[in-house]
């Protein structure tokens, strides 16, 4: 089905504004997937801070010329969908790999992660990484640990002083009573 020149120009602008500028992009084939499954995948991607778009390959190749995504232009063949986002690439990769396990019609092609090209097999490894929130929580725990140990140590000194003073009091009371 042919689309008008105006529609092609709109698509080109859309791809240039979103897809070509996104730091994290995952390309996938989706031949044979049902509409309800695509809708579910779109919702899952949106929940994780990403955007899902079915691309017109020829127009997408024009849009990514000169962008970091240009290295993946050979992946724009057949039915291609692009999932991209600005924030947590790990969460998006997790959503895609989990969905690909449920729906085998989805085939991850390649990706772009902070300007680095990623092969399809590496996307699963990225999905196995902890999320951004988990990493921040671990970092805060590690940063908090020395501070809490110092606080416990300082409290222990005070506690020991109180114990020693109590023992001195008890000895004086025994000496005064005896």
Report the CATH number at residue 77.
3.30.70.1730
Quote the DSSP letter at residue 75: G
- CA proximity to 129, closest of 101, 93, 87, 100: 93
pLDDT digits (tens, 9 = 90+) for 8-33: 788 778 877 777 788 888 988 888 88
Domain span at residue 93 reads: 5-129
Dihedral pair phi/psi, residue 21, rounded to 5°: -100, -10
Same domain, 37 and 91: yes
Dihedral pair phi/psi, residue 49, rounded to 5°: 85, 20
Same domain, 109 and 125: yes
Same domain, 145 and 96: no
Same domain, 52 and 72: yes
Q: Quick check: helix, strand or coil at residue 113?
A: strand
pLDDT of the residue at 130: 79
Which of 38-47, 116-125, 160-169 has the lowest average pLDDT?
116-125
> Would you say residue 1 has pLDDT above 70?
no
pLDDT of the residue at 129: 79
Same domain, 42 and 121: yes
Domain count, the chain: 2
Same domain, 101 and 163: no
Q: Is the pTM of this model over 0.85?
A: no
Same domain, 90 and 17: yes
| Calpha distance 133→54 (Å, rounded) | 29
């Amino acid at each position: 089905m042919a689309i008008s020149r105006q529609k092609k120009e709109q698509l080109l602008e859309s791809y240039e504004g979103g897809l070509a500028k996104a730091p994290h992009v995952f390309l996938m084939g989706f031949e044979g997937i049902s509409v309800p499954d695509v809708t579910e995948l779109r919702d899952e991607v949106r929940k994780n801070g990403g955007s899902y778009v079915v691309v017109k390959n020829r127009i997408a190749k024009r849009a990514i010329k000169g962008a970091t995504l240009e290295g993946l232009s050979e992946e724009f063949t057949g039915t291609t969908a692009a999932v991209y986002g600005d924030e947590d690439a790990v969460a998006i990769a997790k959503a895609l790999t989990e969905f690909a396990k449920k729906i085998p019609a989805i085939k991850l092609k390649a990706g772009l992660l902070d300007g680095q090209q990623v092969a399809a097999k590496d996307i699963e490894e990225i999905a196995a990484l902890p999320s951004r929130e988990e990493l921040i929580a671990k970092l805060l725990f590690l940063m908090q640990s020395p501070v809490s140990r110092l606080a416990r140590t300082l409290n222990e000194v005070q506690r020991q002083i109180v114990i020693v003073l109590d023992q001195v009091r008890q000895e004086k009371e025994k000496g005064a009573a005896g």
